[in-house]
Chains A and B, each alone.
Chain A
Amino acid sequence: MQFMLLFSRQGKLRLQKWYVPLSDKEKKKITRELVQTVLARKPKMCSFLEWRDLKIVYKRYASLYFCCAIEDQDNELITLEIIHRYVELLDKYFGSVCELDIIFNFEKAYFILDEFLLGGEAQETSKKNVLKAIEQADLLQESEDEYLSVKIFK
């Protein structure tokens, strides 16, 4: 996978993850172009399209579009399920996730994605294991915060 974009129906970008190094200018151009293309498509159309030398796989969940760019030999259907698994993970973590959760906790959305995908490849497909890792990180944060606050109050 080369990159993943999350954007709203209004075309607002909510999350971007790039697995290929590109200039900011190029990223912006690609984003603009793809958001336009995908938003222009009708609901019943297929989830795949050819774009430049890549294949775009996208799916809409409520008000959010999840859009991945994969390479020629990559599998479209399994990419759709990568998207779905990510949505499941977000859902499980936030408890029926909505766009607002992702806006306010964008850093968490990134951490979850990083646990699931690495360098654009699915690294851990088990929901349990990913969530376990995230929870552990949260615990770590908690214990640190606790430690910090203790120090401050002293």
Chain B
Amino acid sequence: MGRGPSPLTQRLLLLLLRRAASAAPDKMPAVSKGDGMRGLAVFISDIRNCKSKEAEIKRINKELANIRSKFKGDKALDGYSKKKYVCKLLFIFLLGHDIDFGHMEAVNLLSSNKYTEKQIGYLFISVLVNSNSDLIRLINNGIKNDLTSRNPTFMNLALHCIANVGSREMAEAFAAEIPRILVAGSVIQLLAPLSAADQPIRAVVLVVLHHGQREGVVTAATSLITTLAQKSPDDFKTSVSLAVARLSRIVTSASIDLQDYTYYFVAAPWLSVKLLRLLQCYPPPEDAALRGRLTECLETILNKAQEPPKSKKVQHSNAKNAVLFEAISLIIHHDSEPTLLVRACNQLGQFLQHRETNLRYLALESMCTLASSEFSHEAVKTHIETVINALKTERDVSVRQRAVDLLYAMCDRSNAKQIVAEMLSYLETADYSIREEIVLKVAILAEKYAVDYTWYVDTILNLIRIAGDYVSDEVWYRVIQIVINRDDVQGYAAKTVFEALQAPACHENLVKVGGYILGEFGNLIAGDSRSSPLVQFNLLHSKFHLCSVPTRALLLSAYIKFINLFPEVKATIQEVLRSDSQLRNADVELQQRAVEYLRLSCIASTDILATVLEEMPPFPERESSILAKLKRKKGPGNLPDIDDTRRSVNGNTEHNNNNTETTAKVSSDLLALSPAPSAGASLLVDVFSESSAPAAADVYEDNFARFVCKNNGVLYENQLLQIGLKSEYRQNLGRMYVFYGNKTSTQFLSFTASVGSPDPLNTHILHPVDPTVDGGAQVQQILNIECLSDFTEAPVLNIQFRYGGTLQSIAVKLPIMLNKFFQPTEMMSQDFFQRWKQLGAPQQEVQKIFKAKHPMDTEVTKAKIIGFGAALLDGVDPNPANFVGAGVIHTKSTQVGCLLRLEPNTQAQMYRLTLRTSRDSVSQRLCDLLSEQF
């Protein structure tokens, strides 16, 4: 069985339903409590009295044999014995042993008319159902009987089972049943006239939220609405005002009597949290009065945090603060009320010094998101000393990790030096598990906020000194890129690496950086006799033998650069290159470099040498490779965007939301103003085809889907013409070779082929095809493609020609789809899960469940996913039958990280496909494309 879909909607619906069903309490005879099953208790004591593991296993095996014989025996067991034995099996299972029988007896119990037997049957099934799904039909039958039994206690058991097991099979079996019961439920009956709308569930839950008197029912309804609202926000918009009204009643009225729903002096904390959570599915209310009321609620919650506690119990403060943190989440989600944001920040600031570790942890976590709002960024910054202190004094590594995250989030030009220094000093003692991440963060901050690049160089060298093993290639590549691009820092960099290399033991990464920089800029410090060319060379070469092959290769390149920079050491270096340990090195790469460099130094003139070994040209400016790496580690969604202008030092530029909105609008307007040439072309074709083409063909797209996972093949064929394709893609660019084959023996005349692209694609025909295509001939056309942003619509290829006097017109959808711009990304399972989690916003995920159209073959599926463009990740999904992939969609404007997961269910011949990307339109499109392939 695949990892089930856990149809939350279904379950939450049930949750409400269960409340509804139990609303009318049953009249029970008053009898005193009695004992359970004696045989079971004896067995449990026996087990507990076992002195050794072996004795325990022996006792268990004896019992299993006994139960098995009882179940197999001729004598029919009575309900009580069956119940007892099934309970024993359950207990044995809970001890960690596998149970492979008894399911049938449990199903029998489930079908019993006696409550206690039924109850045990359900318990067994809900704990063990996964290990034996053959019985699912029988189980479902039993459940169905109970659901229709009109006995509320039985109905409850059945509903519990469906809700708690939450498997796809059950959800599918009862999807239609549940809402019917819901509408007929006793509480709901009172409101039946209102719920007779098209959307009974919607009406019902909203009505419950509005009128529900029982807090329990409302709590359940709120969970349900939240889930539904995440799926289709528009349908549940009205819940916002209802939720605000409810919340307001709970929070602001002092006199409200919630009786048992008050928890340690906190009024209905569970319901409050759920209501606040529901409101986070929506933007701030537009209606001023409603918005005012909500603000009042949030203010009251913040005020209450300042009041003296009504109880010293931790439960009181936990419940109160649970509501407070949820309120702060909502404030951050709205990101529109500066006063509230700043108040939230101050409140969290108090928690930073709270004696409860839990509160400190949550405050650090929550403040991290506050730091990315420009309203509260400055307020967050005022807590820097406390956070730094936390980094130094917290005993729990998970809390320190939060402190690092927060420092990173609050960093800007004004405090970068301090924060970087603190992170560096923390790095010396940091937990190994988080060092690499800290290294990346330091490297990014140092680069981002460097005013003075000597500071940057120092910082990175310090990083290598302190945590060389955790400095990934991206980090040291980046320092070299920056030094090469900035000539004001080259001399300083050369001097500093030279000094750093003096240390008797230095990290190999430092040797790499040192070798590269001295090879390029050693001349800048060669004037000083203490760092003369020979001294530099000897220093580097003293490290050579301790280094790995790649580093040695890099050093050899540095040496040949030295020959160019300093003719006076040429002989010394040639000597080194000539030695057997170089020229006959077992490593091919080293040997080749030694041979070639030696030859080059011998035969090339000074001029040629100077040209070949010229200083490296500046690197093109692009996104920092380190930032990309951290994004990969953290997932794009979660990384506070420190590039954003709103974080510039003065910090009071436009509000982010507005900002992005306006830019988006402006750019789309610009596009609209200047129609792309391709659009113009297709317009012409349309006009033309309408006037003169007899059969203005519909766009042919039958073969389109075949090209989703492959790039070559026949796109179109009729009796006259065959169109074949070959294509290749790299990042956001592609090239397509289109072959037109004349299948007849007659010439095609006036042959034209043009492409109409949607806006986000640039297609450019390199050269038009010859207007005549001879019989039996094939002509080729080359198409350059550039993906500007993500897109859904595919370009259309319009072909026209005259064949025997008639004008032929063919339009074919060109298989250029979004996934063509995929670059596979390999990652470890930990990274995958981290990113998966970070792409957890409901709109980022798109999921589809569909029937298999082809035989379910693992290898074929793998090939398709790879063909789709994603990297197929092995060993990530705990279920080996599932497929997991990752990649990045490259467009000119952005890169979108994508994760996908495909879960086959061979039994049902179904698949479930889940796409998570940082952009909802991309998730949707990729899901649509890929789901058609299986």
Contacts and interface: CB of A to CB of B under 8 A. Distances in A.
B834 A53 contact: yes
A53 B19 CA distance: 31
B836 A23 contact: no
A123 interface: yes
20 contacts: A13-B96, A19-B164, A20-B4, A21-B166, A29-B878, A42-B396, A45-B398, A46-B357, A71-B840, A77-B319, A80-B322, A81-B315, A106-B91, A110-B123, A121-B15, A123-B19, A123-B220, A124-B19, A132-B25, A148-B114
Interface in A104-154: 104-108, 110-111, 114, 118-129, 132-133, 136-146, 148
B318 interface: yes
A72 B280 CA distance: 14
A125 B269 CA distance: 9
A81 B837 contact: no
Contacts of B130: 21-24
B810 interface: no
Interface stretch (B27-35, B61-69, B532-540, B859-867): B27-35
B22 A133 contact: yes
Given A14-B94, A81-B318, A44 B3 contact: no
Interface of A: 12-17, 19-24, 26, 28-29, 42, 44-50, 52-54, 71-73, 75-78, 80-81, 84-85, 103-108, 110-111, 114, 118-129, 132-133, 136-146, 148
A119 B161 CA distance: 9
Nearest to A136: B28
A44 B31 contact: no
- Most chain B CB atoms below 10 A, which of A19, A21, A42, A72: A21
Nearest to B116: A141
A13 B94 contact: yes
A12 B357 CA distance: 27
A132 to B, nearest CB: 7
B217 to A, nearest CB: 9
Interface in B126-141: 127, 130-131
Interface of B: 1, 3-4, 6, 8, 11-12, 14-15, 18-19, 22, 25-26, 28-34, 36, 41, 44, 48, 80, 87, 90-91, 94-96, 98, 114-116, 119-120, 123, 127, 130-131, 153, 160, 163-168, 215-216, 219-220, 223, 259-261, 263, 268-271, 273, 277, 280, 315, 318-319, 321-322, 325-326, 357-358, 360-362, 395-396, 398-399, 833-834, 836-837, 840, 878-879
B29 A48 contact: no
A148 B919 CA distance: 62
A124 B357 CA distance: 29
Contacts of B29: 139, 143
Contact of B395 (A44, A48, A123, A145): A44
A126 B260 contact: yes
B263 A85 contact: yes
Contacts of A136: 25-26, 28
Nearest to B33: A138
Given A76-B358, A78-B270, A123-B19, A142 B33 contact: yes
Given A46-B360, A49-B398, 20 more contacts: A20-B4, A21-B1, A23-B130, A29-B878, A72-B837, A75-B273, A75-B325, A76-B325, A81-B319, A105-B36, A111-B119, A114-B160, A118-B160, A119-B163, A121-B15, A123-B15, A125-B268, A132-B25, A142-B34, A145-B34
A50 B638 CA distance: 15
Contact of A19 (B3, B6, B357, B834): B6
B11 A118 contact: yes
B750 to A, nearest CB: 60
Contacts of B215: 125-126
Contact of A75 (B28, B33, B322): B322
A73 B8 CA distance: 15
A118 B31 contact: no
Contacts of A24: 98, 130-131
A131 B361 CA distance: 34
B304 to A, nearest CB: 15
Contacts of B32: 142
A73 B277 contact: yes
B94 A16 contact: yes
Nearest to A78: B322
Contacts of B15: 118-119, 121, 123
A127 B260 CA distance: 7
A143 B33 CA distance: 10
Given A21-B3, A46-B398, A125-B215, A106 B270 contact: no
A32 to B, nearest CB: 9
Contacts of A19: 6, 11, 164, 166
B305 to A, nearest CB: 13
Nearest to B131: A24
A103 B358 contact: no
A126 B115 contact: no
A24 B862 CA distance: 26
A147 B710 CA distance: 70
Contacts of A125: 215-216, 219, 261, 263, 268, 270-271
A137 B116 CA distance: 8
A139 B766 CA distance: 84
Contacts of A143: 28-29, 31
Given A123-B219, A126-B260, A139-B29, A76 B395 contact: no
Contacts of A118: 11, 14-15, 18, 160, 163-164, 220
B806 to A, nearest CB: 61
A21 B879 contact: no
